[in-house]
Structure 1
Amino acid sequence: MNVKFRLTLMSFMQFFVWAAWLITIANYWFGTKQWAGADFGIIFSTMGIASLFMPTLTGILADKWINAEKLYGILHLLYAVVMFYLPQVNDPHTFFWVILVAMCFYMPTIALSNSISYTTLKNSEFDVVKDFPPIRVWGTIGFIVAMWITNLTGNKASANQFYIAGVSALALGLYSFTLPACKPSKLISDKTTFVQKFGLEAFKLFSDYKMALFFIFSMFLGGALQLTNAYGDVFLDEFKMFPKYADLYVVKRSTLILSISQISETLFILAIPFFLKRFGIKKVMVIAMTAWVLRFGLFAFGNPADGLWMIILSCIVYGMAFDFFNISGSLFVETSTTPKTRSSAQGLFMMMTNGFGAVFGSLVSGWMIDRFFTKAYTNIQATAELVGSQPNDQHLLTFLSNKGINVLANGDLSRAIDVKDWHSIWLSFTIYALIITVLFALMFKHKHTRAEQKAIEAINH
């Protein structure tokens, strides 16, 4: 079988097994399980926690002791086992620990999949720069397809999303053992120090003011990266409380609408060379931060009816927000460090955004939403007034019934319903992103360098 096709299939499945639940888990948490909002924030922090140490540990294993494709397969099989177990968990705190174990198995496979692709392409005498991007883009397509399948099969609030992830991860794990061998490179010698093995040398870069500033801002922006993944789908889904929105296609198929974000991501990748050549690295990073402001702001004022254009535009803007900062930031690190610390510095960049930043954003957002933007309603009259309905409106009664809430004879609810003020939630995220953008533009002093120009020219070619 063609090597590039086999790697393409791996890339497709790599992100399929993640997206089957990543965007829709909030519906399961808030809708099916009825767990507290503050606890939900820690679920998305598990990706950041796992990203702090697992990629480095598995990288050492693959470099010194075990074939990368075999390690990759083992990790996916273990991830599948955890996915199969997850629906049996009925306690939010236990759920956190189980998800954390799943992420410890899954997160390092992202880097391993890239490593396997690079090694296999080189061994087959392909041009990595030319041939890898078309393979990697199928990962994003896999992400989109998984979102669509979960939504179209009616499983965005059910435990079946974890079974979809588990079955596909099981298939990927077994498939991995058929991939071309990627033997250990033995790059890590016995004389390598602990600091060198774990890439901690890069922390010396914090002694440089500009690099320290860049990494700190990367962390704070990283706090925003997972917010729409965590809350975007449940935000659209909760419009079903409102009679004028309840039957709209956008509400019923919210995950499909959000998949525009990933489609946009694939398209904006193609635009990066033009923007970098036209504006330079710093301005592209500022453009990315501004796009995050628009991403949240459009959500704050959008709705599934006359404000649908804002929801769709927010999804389109996401591609610019996500791609432009990740790639321009990576180029800045590449051109601002020495060959000796370059790989460690790139790892530090990912650690600050997807590690510390993700943990910070997940924990703070979960606490903030539960503390300031969630109100418990115990009476049918008050709940009906909130959503502009009548106490006996069928949409409201169906919504309450789906949550397992009954209306008692005196009009009280058998269990309080938590209602989130999504407009204020997204607006607070907007203000947060705006502050970061303004401070970065003012404080980060950077001039276009010759090394950057060469790197940009390499991308253009």
Structure 2
Amino acid sequence: MSIKLRLTIMSFFQFFVWGAWLITIANYWFGTKQWDGTQFGAIFATMGIASLFMPTLMGIIADRWVNAEKLYSLMHFLYAATLFYLPQVDDPQLFFYIMLLAMCFYMPTLALSNSISYTALTTGQYDLVKAFPPIRVWGTIGFIAAMWLVNLTGSKATGHQFHIAGAAAFGLSLFAWTLPKCPPRNVNRENQSLIQTFGLEAFKLFANYKMALFFIFSMFLGGALQLTNAYGDVFLDEFKYYPKYADSFVIEYSTIIMSISQVSETLFILAIPFFLKRFGIKKVMLLSMFAWVLRFGLFAYGDPTTGLWMIVLSCIVYGMAFDFFNISGSLFVETSTNAHIRSSAQGLFMMMTNGFGAVLGSLLSGWIIDKYFTLHFSNISNLASYLETDSLNASLLGFVKERGFTVFQDGSLSGEVMLKDWHHIWLAFAGYTLVIAILFALFFKHKHDRKSL
């Protein structure tokens, strides 16, 4: 089996085991378990917390002591074990800790998979910028395949999504033993400083103004990525509360609609070599940032009927928003660092984007949405008016009663029904990414040399 084929299979399942639950876990959390929204923000923050230290730590270990492909195999085996346990958890606090453990095992594999691919392709004397994107595109196809499988099997609101991901992760841990060998770099360790001995040299990149600024803006943009992962599918699913949208195809197959985002990724990944060579990292990153503005802005005004084209276009734009940031950024780090710290540098990039960025995006967004963008209804007439229906509508009354509330004769409710103000949520997110884009254009200085990539 050729090197490129093995790397392609690795890429497919690397994202399959994530896509099986990442987009649909909100349906499991809010629908099946009916747990608190603020706690859900903490669940998504587990990716960030784990990424604060695990990718960098595993990158250091791979650079110094253990073959990257063996470490990769071990991480996926442990990730599979935690996924199989998750559906048995009925306490949201315990769920948080188990998910945190799962993310401690999974998040390092994102950087390790990049490192394995880059090492194997470099050893095989391939052009990284041309050879890597067609391999990486299969990761997105794997993500799409997992989303479709979960949706079409009726698993998107059940614990089976974790079983599907766990089985694939276990298989990937076995397949990793067939990957090209990626041993630690053989370096002379005599007369080394403490920083060099423990493989912490990648942190010296922060002493470089351009690299430090790149990592900082990557952190803030990483926050935007977590917002769309956390709330995209549940946003579409909540249109079912509006009677005029209740029978929409979009609601029944919300996960498949969201998968258009990943289909778009497959096209934009293949365009990365051209854009990076032609425009350079600064312009490519700016394209990504303005694509995020469009992504959120179109969601703000979209709906399952007359505004469906906005939702679809938002999903198409996502391909540019994600790929031009995540994959181009990884390639930029790879080509801007020395060979003996590249696994560590990839881990550092992961720490800033999926670590600090994810914590910032997940925790702050959960708190802000609950405090400023959650609507409270204590009267059936007010709720009916907001949902543009009759207060005596059977589906509305059923919706209220399903949540354990009683409707009294005067129209008041025995508790408060809460709905999210998605229009203003998405506008706030669009404003956030617009500010980041403007600041990045002003402060990040980079002279593009077509021969450097």
User: What corresponds to 1:385 in structure 2?
Assistant: 385
User: What corresponds to 1:75 in structure 2?
Assistant: 75
Does structure 2 conserve the Cα–Cα contact (< 8 Å) formed by 1:242 and 1:395? no
- 2:448 matches 1:454: no
Counterpart AA for 1:453: R
Superimposed CA distance per residue, residues 142-193 of structure 1 (whole angstroms, 9 cap, x where no aligned partner): 100101111112222222211221222233334444x257364364776555
User: What corresponds to 2:201 in structure 1?
Assistant: 201
Identity across the alignment (%): 67
For 1:29 and 1:197, how far apart are their aligned partners in 2? Answer: 44
For 2:221 and 2:213, how far apart are their aligned partners in 1? Answer: 12
Q: Which moved more, 1:131-140 or 1:235-244?
A: 131-140
For 1:200 and 1:65, how far apart are their aligned partners in 2? Answer: 13
Does structure 1 conserve the Cα–Cα contact (< 8 Å) formed by 2:133 and 2:270? no
- 2:164 matches 1:167: no
Does structure 1 conserve the Cα–Cα contact (< 8 Å) formed by 2:63 and 2:344? no
For 1:398 and 1:164, how far apart are their aligned partners in 2? Answer: 32
For 1:363 and 1:234, how far apart are their aligned partners in 2? Answer: 17
> How well do the aligned residues superpose, as a CA RMSD in angstroms?
2.9
Q: Which moved more, 1:15-24 or 1:74-83?
A: 74-83
User: What corresponds to 2:298 in structure 1?
Assistant: 298
Superimposed CA distance per residue, residues 355-403 of structure 1 (whole angstroms, 9 cap, x where no aligned partner): 21111111111110111111333443332222112234233245446x5
- Matching of residues 314-325 of structure 1 within 5 Å: 314-325=314-325
Does structure 1 conserve the Cα–Cα contact (< 8 Å) formed by 2:14 and 2:139? yes
Counterpart AA for 1:93: Q
- Matching of residues 24-173 of structure 1 within 5 Å: 24-63=24-63, 66-117=66-117, 127=126, 129=128, 132-173=132-173
- 2:259 matches 1:272: no
For 2:55 and 2:15, how far apart are their aligned partners in 1? Answer: 16
TM-score with structure 2 length normalisation? 0.89
The structure-2 alpha-carbon separation of the partners of 1:64 and 1:203, relative to structure 1 and needing over 3 Å to count, comes to: closer
Which 5+ residue runs of structure 1 have no aligned equivalent?
457-461
Report the alpha carbon displacement of residue 16 of structure 1 after superposing the two structures with TM: 0.9
Does structure 2 conserve the Cα–Cα contact (< 8 Å) formed by 1:16 and 1:146? yes
The structure-2 alpha-carbon separation of the partners of 1:3 and 1:216, relative to structure 1 and needing over 3 Å to count, comes to: closer
- Matching of residues 278-293 of structure 1 within 5 Å: 278-293=278-293
The structure-2 alpha-carbon separation of the partners of 1:298 and 1:171, relative to structure 1 and needing over 3 Å to count, comes to: same
User: What corresponds to 2:404 in structure 1?
Assistant: 405
For 1:343 and 1:67, how far apart are their aligned partners in 2? Answer: 11
The structure-2 alpha-carbon separation of the partners of 1:156 and 1:405, relative to structure 1 and needing over 3 Å to count, comes to: farther
For 1:258 and 1:373, how far apart are their aligned partners in 2? Answer: 23
Does structure 1 conserve the Cα–Cα contact (< 8 Å) formed by 2:137 and 2:266? yes
Report the alpha carbon displacement of residue 248 of structure 1 after superposing the two structures with TM: 0.6
The structure-2 alpha-carbon separation of the partners of 1:106 and 1:281, relative to structure 1 and needing over 3 Å to count, comes to: closer
Does structure 2 conserve the Cα–Cα contact (< 8 Å) formed by 1:60 and 1:197? no
For 2:423 and 2:207, how far apart are their aligned partners in 1? Answer: 41
For 1:89 and 1:353, how far apart are their aligned partners in 2? Answer: 29
Counterpart AA for 2:384: A
- Matching of residues 235-384 of structure 1 within 5 Å: 235-330=235-330, 333=333, 344-384=344-384
Helix, strand or coil: the match of 1:22?
A: coil
For 1:158 and 1:12, how far apart are their aligned partners in 2? Answer: 23
Q: Which moved more, 1:355-364 or 1:204-213?
A: 204-213
Superimposed CA distance per residue, residues 217-274 of structure 1 (whole angstroms, 9 cap, x where no aligned partner): 2221221111111100000000000011111111111111111111111111222333
For 2:284 and 2:66, how far apart are their aligned partners in 1? Answer: 40
For 1:45 and 1:187, how far apart are their aligned partners in 2? Answer: 36
Does structure 2 conserve the Cα–Cα contact (< 8 Å) formed by 1:62 and 1:68? yes
The structure-2 alpha-carbon separation of the partners of 1:298 and 1:383, relative to structure 1 and needing over 3 Å to count, comes to: same
